[in-house]
Structure formats: structure tokens, C-alpha cells
Amino acid sequence: MTSSPSPVTASRALLATPVGVIAVDSDGLAVVGISWQDGSSPHTEAASDPVLTEAIRQLRAYFGGSLIEFDLPVCLDRLSGAARAVLTALQREVAHGQTITYGELAALSGTRMSARGVGTIMGCNPVPLVIPCHRVVAGDGLGGYSGGAHGQGLSTKRWLLEFEGALPPTLF
């Protein structure tokens, strides 16, 4: 994970995925944002941004089942040091097919962050999927998820965890 000096979006691409259309933003040096787009038609801008091109390639491979670990520069410059530490620990330590609780991630991060604080950080993650906040769960269930199309957060989280093999598929 790297940081870029200027978190200004230079280019954007939209990608249709099994969990909705996502927008990927790049500043030319790093991925600065990933978000779900309600009602957007999927198309990719003709971009000469190699970071954006690689991000779209890796996301397609992830959803195609052939990539389990992203290797992209991301920008976390607008986050606090504690938030960067928590997200970095998550990205480095919680692999595809695994989950971790909010409290376990708080301890793993080396910060004095509470489980609730970790939940807040997960909701502020600028690059979901690449930094897999969907893998962070509550001690007694899925917890929350701010990703996904409007109103589809928990079903998106469940789909991603089932897709990665961290949860058994639902029967209904």
C-alpha cells in the first residue's frame, strides 16, 4: 500500500459487478476511491491512467474468481493515523476467505481503538474491496456494511463473504 501526494481525482471508471456498479477513482498515482453507483450504466472511460486500468483489471479478476489479493497503490492520506493503521492491518493480515471481529482488528492494529471505533473506520474506508472491510464482522453476527448499492449493504457483505468462502451460502 502506498500513498500519493495529491488525492485529486483525475479519472474514473465504472465497472458492473455481481454486487452492483462500482466507480473506481484514481489520481494517476493511486486508487483514491471505490464506491457503489445507484442507477449508473456500466461503462469504462477511455483512460490513459495506468493505475485505473490496472485497478479495473484486478477487480474483474477478483469477481471472476482468479484474484484473491489486490496489489494496487491506494491513497489514505485524508485519514487519521489511527484509521490508516487499522486499515493497513486489515489489508495485510486478513486474507481472502477469512474474517476478523471489530475487537480483534482493534487489538491487531496496535492502536488504542475500541471495537466501535474500528466499525466507524470501516464505514470511512475509501477503497472497499481493495481494503476488505467486508471481512470485519461483529462478535455475534455480520455487523454492518456501508458498501453496496443503497439499502443493500448487508446483502452485499453477505454475498462477498460467501463468494470468498468465509460464509456458507444461504439456503434461501
Distance CA 115, CA 92 (A): 19
Total number of domains in the chain:
2
Residues 159 and 85 in one domain: yes
- Number of Cβ within 10 Å of residue 4's Cβ equals 19
Distance CA 156, CA 152 (A): 6
Tell me which of 19, 35, 64 is where a domain ends: 64
Per the structure, the complete domain to which residue 24 belongs is given by 11-64
- To the nearest whole percent, how much of the chain has pLDDT over 90? 80
Q: What is the pLDDT of residue 5?
A: 47
Residues 93 and 158 in one domain: yes
Distance CA 127, CA 135 (A): 14
Q: What are the pLDDT digits (tens) for 6-58?
A: 445 579 999 999 999 999 999 999 999 999 998 666 655 546 899 999 999 99
Classify residue 4: in a domain, yes or no.
no
Q: What is the pLDDT of residue 44?
A: 55
Classify residue 57: in a domain, yes or no.
yes
Which pTM was predicted?
0.89
Classify residue 74: in a domain, yes or no.
no
Q: What is the pLDDT of residue 70?
A: 98
Q: pLDDT higher for 10 or 111?
A: 111
Q: What is the CATH number for 127?
A: 1.10.10.10
Distance CA 159, CA 18 (A): 9
Q: Sign of torsion, CA 75 61 63 93?
A: negative
Residue of 52, 133, 136, 137 with catalytic role: 133
Q: In angstroms, how far is CA 140 from the centroid of its own chain?
A: 22
Classify residue 1: in a domain, yes or no.
no
Asked if residue 121 has pLDDT above 70, the reply is yes
Classify residue 170: in a domain, yes or no.
no
Classify residue 93: in a domain, yes or no.
yes
Distance CA 103, CA 113 (A): 9
Residues 53 and 107 in one domain: no
* H-helix segments, the chain: 50-64, 81-93, 102-109, 115-124, 153-163
Determine contact, residues 17/128, Cβ cutoff 8 Å: no
Annotated active-site residue 133? The verdict is yes
Q: What are the pLDDT digits (tens) for 147-163?
A: 998 889 999 999 999 99
Residues 93 and 147 in one domain: yes
Residues 32 and 88 in one domain: no
